[in-house]
Each structure stands twice: as structure tokens, then as C-alpha cells.
Chains A and B, each alone.
Chain A
Amino acid sequence: MPLLELKDMSVAYGRIEAVRGISITVEEGELVTLIGANGAGKTTTMRAISGIRPISAGSIWFDGNDISKMKAHERVLHGVIQAPEGRGVFPGMTVLENLEMGAYARVFKTKAEHDATLGRVFELFPRLEERKSQVGGTMSGGEQQMLAIGRALMARPRLLLLDEPSMGLAPMVIQQIFKIITEINDSGTTILLVEQNAQQALSRSDRAYILETGEVVTTGEGKALLADPAVKQAYLGVA
């Protein structure tokens, strides 16, 4: 049984369908990527999985349960956690307060458990520990992205949704973020990643789906897609 399964899911904005009947599965422990051009429906798909955008047809299954009608904040309790596009860091809160917000819905049994989770985040992102009393809105793009991912980890995700973590970042920072994403995945967290940076994303993914105007056009193993001539031409800028 896959951890996440989208069955013929459609999402519409008014009469315009942004996502048209896509079916996607993510197995426990996998790192799966959705790639596609602007307007392909990637972010809409992520918003629908998180529950902040209602779906118009089809269904979303998580861990064997139909969560299509479940409220966004309830999905968080089941472990569906997203680091949203554009980072969505709370600009007026400090780094530490942002991280604590990430654990808002999570009940820590002991203080030690809380400290261990926070320690793990700081271990992945030492930068956040240095900056922990700085206000979120004054941080650089890379730091905000780290904070968004760190905040999502505070909730102990069973499925981590990352929406364009590389957006607007310098190449060196992108490298670093992807390294950490792989590390998170290696330690057992299932990840669904949305990316435009196909090179980085595909080379690190178990599997990938390519979206075009709201539909899945190709799917396969990450590295296999990297070698696919059509993919190369469309997403990697190779003629």
C-alpha cells in the first residue's frame, strides 16, 4: 500500500482546471519528484495534498485512508507536512518561534523529545541555531528556505512536501539544500518534491513524474528520466 496516492485528482480554479485527473503514488521511504514548467499544476497539486485547495474530482489517499475531505490542519496531525512555495516563513517571528510554530499541532510527551527534535533540525541546519533569535523576515532567501524545511521537520512528518525549495537561490545554496533533502530522505522520511531544477531533482529522486498543463505526461525512475531525450530537451536545456 503506497503512503500517498492521488487517484484521478482534479483541481479547478473557477471553471479553469489547473490539474486534470492526475494519478500519483508515493511509497513509504521514497523521494519522488514532480517536475514541470510554470503553470503545469505542480504547486496546485501540493496545495491540494495539504488541503488548502479543495479538489474538484478524484481522491487523495494517505496511509490507506481517504483524506480528500479532511481539513488542512487535520492532515497535519496525520503527518502530511508541507514547506510551502515562497517559503511561507512567518516574517515577524524569530527563527526559534518559527520552528516552535512548526510543532504547533504536535504534542511532545517529554521535554527531551522536544529538545531532540530541535537538536536534529539544528544539526541539519547549523545556520538556524546561530540565527535563532533573528526575525524570520530579515533573513536571506537561503536561510528562509532552511527555516521552512526545518519548521516542517519539527512536526515530525510522515510525508514531507517540499514545494520548489531551490526557487530564487544561488547555485551553491541549491547544492546544499539538495544535499540536506537527500539526508532527510535517507534517514527515513518520505518526500514529495516539486522542482523546476530538473537536473538536481532527477539525479536525487527514486522516481519522478513530469507534469504538463495539469496532466502527467511521463513517469519513471529519476535517473532514467534524466537520460530521456525528450526530458533533456524540455527541462534540461540540452538540444
Chain B
Amino acid sequence: MSTETTSTVAHLGIGDRFRLWWDALARPTQWAVGVPFIVLIALLPIIKPPVLTTVGTDFAGVLAQFGMYALLAIGLNVVVGQAGLLDLGYVGFYAIGAYTVGLLTSPDSPWNQTDSWLSQKWAWLFALPIAIAITAISGLILGSPTLRLRGDYLAIVTLGFGEIVRLLADNLTTITGGGRGLSRIAYPIVGVSESRPTGYFSAGNNQAPITSGVAWFWLSIVLIIVVLLVVGNLQRSRVGRAWVAIREDEDAAEIMGVPTFKFKLWAFLIGASIGGLSGALYAGQVQFVIPTTFNIINSTLFLVAVVLGGQGNKLGVILGAFVIVYLPNFFLGRTELFGIPINGNEIANYKYLFFGLALIVLLIFRPQGLFPARQKLLAYGREVYVAARRAALALTRPTSDETTGGSR
């Protein structure tokens, strides 16, 4: 028994080591380290470090896309990582968020409101909460009948949901514009000047240093922090404990008195809202939505981000999202790497192949993901975690009751 625990301490991964280090820091030190780090991340698209920057495409644009994917990964992680519900149709919520903004603010849409009660200037901002609310409701509608299913059955039904949303967008031609999509979607009009006649957030703004990519990246950083705070608090609450219990053993959770259906529905609803938020960001940034963006491959890609990063670990899945977005763009337009001539565009084209292979290798050798959630999942705050750490350290020393085993 004690040999087992000793080895788990010896096998602490990067994530656990980082957490131990972080949790041992005092609050002010955490701020002193965390804030400059976030500022540094935010300044990346302006500094454009030569090692990191992309050559074939705008680096700031890539980071803006990463911001949206990070939100998606956090949202999907609530459903898949925390509550343990396999959702293969998460892209459906992303689509509903994007199309809600599109339908409300695009002049192509029959439901365009920008000439009536939505002011042109603030249209995007007003459409945002509506998009989140509508996606939350769609999560409720999908969840109420389907969350009675478990495991693979749930996965199949959600897969169908994702496709239904895309097919509706494709075929309701008179409303969604079908395959032509919706263009000229509203975006926040902020900072109009002579050099930026349409403001920072307009897709047409490529005035350095603050291009539209940078503006959207910054906005998504703010939203990511807000969402992380909300999700983190939930995780440490009774809701979070219920999710962990459901993920680990649903029947056991139910007979501990956890209303499992209710909490699964909550996970779905929260995950859906975050997906809708990300979709609304996407619609505003690109100012254009078409159904093909929301195909099943993308849904799988979101899941890859979560699995790759480490299910259940909020920060891990953000890194997963970064890998998913950044790597293909890194290769795009590159002709050589470390002096070796490569065809970067081809490599980027085959991204699904490479991600597929990476996923298979990962699931064989490291099924918990690159940055797995800690083993102690529950929420007693720092004190207990530090206490547990002390206990873990104590266990590395041989104990006297080793021989008694389970029979004492």
C-alpha cells in the first residue's frame, strides 16, 4: 500500500508540480506572478516574438481565434471534463451563438433588428447576452430529453444535435441565407478615428499596433478570466462536488442524495452558454457566418483540445486549445524549420490527420491528457490541499504499519 502512494508522489506530473508550487505561494505573490504573466500573454501579438509568431497568417488573428477556442474548451470541459458527459455536438451551441448574433444584426437576415430597437453602434453588445440566453435555452432543450441517456448513447444523440443545427442553418435558406451565409454582422464600434474609420474591432482594421485581431484577443482574454472565475467558483461549490461524483459513479452519486439529472442539466446549460458566448465572439470578429464552419469535424476538434489538454483541468484545456489553433497556423506559409526545408502549407492542410494520430498516441500513453486534473478533485480550498500535500510528503517516509495491510 505505501509503496503505491510513494510512487504516486514520485510520479507527480508537470501539472501537479505546478499546482503544488502555485498553492504554496501566498495570495499577494500569486497576484504578483499572475498579473504580469497575463499582461505578457496579452502583449504577445504586439511584441510578435520571432520564435512564436506565424509567417503565413496574421499572428494577432491566430491568437484571437485561440481566445475563442479557449472559451469553447473551457465550456466543453465543464460538460466532458467535470461532469463526465461525452458531448460530440458541442459545435451546435457555438453555431447557435454565432447565428443568433448574425440573425439579429446582419442586414441579410429577415430578423435584422439593427434598424429598429438595436442601435447600430451597440448592436453586437446587446446581441451578446441574447445569444448566451438562447444557447442556454437550447442546452436545456437538448439536455432535458437526452440526459436520461448515458455514455455512448448520449454521445450519439449529441452528435446528431450538432448536425441538426448545421443542417437547419444550411437549409432554412429564407432565414439563414443557407450556404451563402449571413454577412455584415455587427461588431463593437469602439475607438473610431481617422486611421481607423470603423473602430478597433472592425475586420477592416489592420492598423498596427492594435489591429482587429489584437482587439478581439484582448476582449477574449477578459471574457476567459470572467468565465474561469465563474467556473472555478462552481467547481469549488456543492455543484462542483456533485459533478465530480456524477463523473466518477453516477449511481453512487444518486444514492448519496445527489440529484444527478438536475446537475447534469446544469452542466449542459453552463457549457452551452459558454459555447454560445464564443460563437457570438466569432460572429462579431469574422462578421460573417456560414454553415460549413460548424461541421462535425470542428466539434471533434474542440473535443481534441479538451482531451489533449487534460479533461477536468481548466488551464490544461486552454493550452489544448492553443495547440489546436496555433500548430496548423505555425506551419502555414513556412518553407523551412530548423534549416530543414518543409512544405508548411501541406502540413497545415493535413492537420486533422496529425491531430488524429496525436490523439491516438496520447490515449495509449497518456490518457489523462498532457496536463491532467489533480487527483484530489474536491473543493476544500487551499488549506486542505496544503494539508493533503503534507500528508503525501509524510507518506514518502516508510510507515510502521506497512505489514498490517487492509486487515487492521
- By a beta-carbon cutoff of 8 Å, the part of chain A in contact with chain B is 50-52, 71-73, 76-77, 81-82, 84, 88-94, 97, 100-102, 104-106, 126-127, 130, 133-135, 138-143, 151, 155, 170, 172-173, 176
The A-contacting residues of B in range 238-263, CB under 8 angstroms, are: 238, 241-242, 244-245, 248-249, 251-260
Contacts of B392 in A (CB 8 A): 133
Q: Let me know if B36 is at the binding interface, CB within 8 A.
A: no
Check if B406 sits within 8 Å of A50, measured CB to CB. no
Stretch at the interface among B94-102, B153-161, B346-354, B371-379: B371-379
Q: Let me know if B388 is at the binding interface, CB within 8 A.
A: yes
Q: Let me know if B171 is at the binding interface, CB within 8 A.
A: no
Q: Contacts A92-B248, A92-B375 known; A133 to B391 CB distance under 8 Å?
A: yes
Report how far A82 CA is from B405 CA in the complex, Å.
26
Instruction: Tell me which of B5, B238, B257, B378 contacts A93 (CB under 8 A).
Output: B378
Given contacts A133-B388, A133-B392, 6 further A-B contacts (CB under 8 A): A51-B255, A90-B244, A90-B248, A93-B376, A105-B256, A173-B407
Contacts of B383 in A (CB 8 A): none
Question: Which of A50, A89, A138, A170 has the most chain B CB atoms inside 10 A of its CB?
Answer: A138
Q: Describe B's contact surface by its main secondary structure.
A: helix
Distance of A143 from chain B, by nearest CB (Å): 5
Instruction: Tell me which of B253, B255, B375 contacts A135 (CB under 8 A).
Output: B375
Check if A93 sits within 8 Å of B387, measured CB to CB. no
7 shortest interchain CB distances as A-B pairs: A105-B257, A76-B257, A140-B406, A142-B406, A88-B252, A133-B391, A90-B248
Contacts of B244 in A (CB 8 A): 90, 92-93
Instruction: Tell me which of A81, A127, A155 contacts B408 (CB under 8 A).
Output: A127
Check if A52 sits within 8 Å of B242, measured CB to CB. no
Question: Which of A50, A94, A142 has the most chain B CB atoms inside 10 A of its CB?
Answer: A94
Check if B378 sits within 8 Å of A97, measured CB to CB. yes
Report how far A139 CA is from B258 CA in the complex, Å.
24
Check if B251 sits within 8 Å of A84, measured CB to CB. yes
Contacts of A104 in B (CB 8 A): 238, 241-242, 245, 256-258
Contacts of B406 in A (CB 8 A): 127, 139-143, 170, 173
